[in-house]
Every structure is written in C-alpha cells, then in structure tokens.
Amino acid sequence: MGKLRVFIDIHMHATRFPGTQQWGSNEFATPEQLIERFDATAVDKAILLPLVSPEARRGIQSTDEILDICRQYPNRFIPFCNVDPRMVGNAPDAPLNELLDFYKSKGCKGIGEVTANLPFNDSFVENLFQHVQAAHLPLTFHISPEIGRNYGLYDEPGLPLLEGALRKFPNLTFLGHSQAFWCEIGPLDNVKDRWGYPKGPIRRPGRVVELMRKYPNLMGDLSAGSGFNAVSRDEIFGLEFFDEFQDRLFFGTDITSPTTPGPLRDYLLKQRAEGRLPENIFRKVASGNAVRLLKLDA
C-alpha cells in the first residue's frame, strides 16, 4: 500500500487557544497537536466540529475559528459548521438557512456536532433539521438520555424521537453518535447503559440496527468510546454489522484533548491484518465513505 495514510476521521475537535477546557481538567487539543497524532497514526485528514451550544463546553466556539484552522492546514482538516437551534432570534421559525448558506459557501461540508439539550421533536430542532435538509448537508448529532445536567439532543429509550426525525426528514443524512445512541446496537437491557458502555455479547439486533435497516438516511459515526465499544464488545456481531452497513459507517476518534485515546484505528487494522475484515470494507470505513459522503477529492 506504500505509505500508510489511509484514515479520514469523521469526528474531531480542536482549538486555537491552548488551555480551553471542556469538562473538568480536559484541555482541547490544538491543530498542531492533532497533526502530530495524525503523522503517528496514519490519519490523512479529519473533520473538525465546532461546539456552539453552551451545554457542550465552558466557552462557545465559533465556526469561524474552525474555518480559520482549516484555512491554515487545508490538507489536514475539513470544516463542519454548527448552528444552535436557538440562534438567529430564538424562534421556531428562525431563518437558519442564512447561516447554513453562508458557511456552506465558505467550504463547510456538514453540520455538527449538534449538542443542544432539546428533544429531537422540539419545534426549534425540527426547524434546524428542515434547513439542514434543504442545504443538502449531513448532520452529526449527540444524544442525551436526559434533559438538564447534560448535553445532546434528548431521546427516550428505544430512540422513538430519532425515528420520528428520520421519517420526517428523509433527505437529511443523520450521523449517529454518543453513548445513548450506540448502546442500542443491541437490546437495551438496563436503562442505565444509556450513560455508558455496555459489555457482553449481542444476542440479537437492537434499535440502532433496526433503524439503519429501515431508514437509509441514518449513518454511523464510530468515534469515541461509544462507537468503538459498539463494534468491538461482540467481535462476531461487530463484523456482521460492518458487512451489512459497510457503505454507511465512518471511522472517527472524537479526539478533544491531546491524550484522548483512539482504539478504533488499531482494532480495524488488526481485524484486516488477521483476515476478518475484508480489504474493501476496511477501505470504505477508514476513508472511502467519508470521501463519497462529503464529496472530497479522493
């Protein structure tokens, strides 16, 4: 394969300002720190997601900051924009298309990570979905299992509100992410698993699989411990999941701090090297699906 630079990361965060905190003592990585990790781990490019909702971090980050980083390192970073549903007047009919059209014209390839702590079926959120669908941009969401004391769009066990959005906005590509999403790759045996990383074998498909089978506009963002845990907790089931949804799964890490672990890369390389993950599926998940979805230069 020559020089191994095969990964495009669908989900990363960065800051221009060292010392910026998210939760506790976790400091966001700078672009330069991320590039050091790229060069050590065969990551070619990464999508940078701004965090514009107050629930998600201690200081608001602008899309403009992300665009500035991507202008400085155009061969390593790809910008997403982000729009909180309460922006442009805090109204359920706000013209959010004005922001989306502007950022799309500046090169943003999608929107996210949407972290406003509102229900999926809230009128403000549905207004955002309507405008994102019209802009033909994919949307990365984070699900929260509760309203208050957390960040992310709220849904109930079984993901009925997400299903409603998938049905109501069939031309909007949703990238699913977070513990409360990926824990339902198998049956939800304990509601407390929505806050964590359930272990053990997956005896039958859960709601995530059911929804992906039913709605082609639902994709899988495999970043963070949640995505990695979903495909690795039951190796056989995980490989079957890769096979069935090979065109709709995306490698990612959700790196925030300089030391955020990224175990999915090594897991995918190991599965490929040992012959359990076919080369064509590996290439799709590692980078090919991102190239196709975001219309990147191959």
Answer yes or no: is pLDDT of 229 > 50.
Answer: yes
Residue 4: per-residue pLDDT? 45
Residue 64: per-residue pLDDT? 97
Which residues have CB under 8 Å from 239's CB, separation 6+? Answer: 271, 276, 277
Query: Which class is 7-294 in CATH?
Result: alpha beta
Task: Record the tokens describing residue 251, joined without a space.
Answer: 């490698």
Answer yes or no: is pLDDT of 160 > 50.
Answer: yes
Answer yes or no: is pLDDT of 146 > 70.
Answer: yes
State the pLDDT confidence band at 296, using cuts at 50, 70 and 90.
Answer: very high
Residue 164: per-residue pLDDT? 98
Amino acid at site 205: P
Domain boundaries, the chain: 7-294
Could you give the CA distance from residue 268 to residue 6 in angstroms, rounded to a whole number? Answer: 11
Answer yes or no: is pLDDT of 298 > 90.
Answer: no
Beta bridge partners of 46: 9, 77
Q: What burial letters (b/e) apply to 68-90, b meaning 16+ CB within 10 Å?
A: ebbeebeebbbbbbbbbbbbbee
Report which of residues 29 and 180 the model is more confident about.
180
pLDDT digits (tens, 9 = 90+) for 107-139: 999 999 999 999 999 999 999 999 999 999 999
Task: Record the tokens describing residue 144, joined without a space.
Answer: 């929260």
Radius of gyration (C-alpha) of the chain in whole angstroms:
18
Answer yes or no: is pLDDT of 22 > 60.
Answer: no
State the pLDDT confidence band at 5, using cuts at 50, 70 and 90.
Answer: low
Q: Is 25 exposed, middle or buried (0-12, 13-18, 19+ CB in 10 A)?
A: exposed
Answer yes or no: is pLDDT of 235 > 50.
Answer: yes
Could you give the CA distance from residue 43 to residue 4 in angstroms, rounded to a whole number? Answer: 9
How far is it between the farthest Cα atoms of the chain? 54
Residue 1: per-residue pLDDT? 36
Q: What angle do CA 280, 215, 53 make, to 5 degrees?
A: 95
Residue in the block written with tokens 């407390």: 192
Over residues 148-153, the mean pLDDT reads 95
Residue 187: per-residue pLDDT? 96
